[in-house]
Amino acid sequence: SPLMRACDTARRGAAQSVEPGSAVRIGNYCNLTLCARDTYGNQRLDGGERVEASVMPAPLDEVAVRDNGDGTYDVRFSPAVVGECVVRVSINGDPIGASPHLVPVRAGAASARHSSAFGKALVGVLVNELASFFVQARDAAGNALHAGGDVADVLIAAGAARVVDLRDQGNGMYHCALIAFEPGALDVHVRLNGAHVGGSPFNV
């Protein structure tokens, strides 16, 4: 997790550097550790200071601040939006020297039920003509993934049709082509990593 070493500005200590950490993924927690210091730059060895933190865009749950009782304080939150989080921290009402702190955020792991399928083949198909649709992988917060590698599969559970192509586009989307041999309804099951995507099964 990213580590923030910051002075206690209420005691006019010099701001310490912020060590950059790797990006946090949606669904994981980001932990920042603050080290309170006195006027001379010495790390304090006791707790009891009033530490407050805010995060924008708003995280998935409330920002938690824990006093470790040894001069360090943990700030913990779970980001909700891909991009960058802005973390502002104050001690005893004064912003610390390293605030605001920017935390890069990446999309989380694919969540089948938050992923979606769309395209003409899920609305209607013509006999003996190729029809296609796409699967868009999304994480648990609904953010679109922009890399491939997940396993998409399509099953025609009922109806005279078969899948003729299913391809990972490498950008978080998966292309499926199918063909129907006879008129009638199709029951199309679309899954990602073994679980149905949102709206599946589709009646076509």
pLDDT greater at residue 204 or residue 169: 169
- C-alpha 59/C-alpha 27 separation (Å) is 10
Mean predicted lDDT score pLDDT of the chain: 83
Q: Report whether 2 contacts 25 (CB < 8 A).
A: no
Mean pLDDT of 150-177: 94
- C-alpha 132/C-alpha 190 separation (Å) is 13
Contacts 24+ apart (CB under 8 A), 193-197: 193/110, 193/112, 193/150, 193/151, 194/112, 194/151, 194/153, 195/112, 195/113, 196/112, 196/113, 197/112, 197/113, 197/115, 197/116, 197/117, 197/135
pLDDT greater at residue 108 or residue 131: 131
Give the angle subtended at the CA of 55 by the CAs of 84 and 97, to the nearest 5°: 90
Could you tell me the CA-to-CA distances from 66 to 8, 32, 50 in Å, in that order?
A: 16, 11, 10
Of the candidates 153, 159, 174, 154, the residue with the CA atom closest to the CA atom of residue 204: 159
> What's at 140, amino acid-wise?
A
- C-alpha 35/C-alpha 56 separation (Å) is 22
Start-end of H helices in 126-191: none
pLDDT at 15: 28
Q: Report whether 188 contacts 152 (CB < 8 A).
A: no
Q: Which of 1-15, 28-42, 180-194 has the lowest mean pLDDT?
A: 1-15
Instruction: Domains for the chain: give ranges and CATH numbers.
Output: 3-106 (2.60.40.10), 112-203 (2.60.40.10)
Decide the pairing of beta strands 24-25 and 101-106. parallel
Q: Where does the pLDDT of residue 22 fall: very low under 50, low under 70, confident under 90, or very high at 90 and above?
A: low
Each residue of 121-161: pLDDT tens digit? 999 899 999 999 999 999 988 889 999 999 999 999 888 89
Hey, which residues does 203 pair with through a beta bridge? 187
- C-alpha 155/C-alpha 195 separation (Å) is 12
pLDDT greater at residue 47 or residue 117: 117
Which DSSP category does 44 fall into?
Answer: P
pLDDT at 16: 30
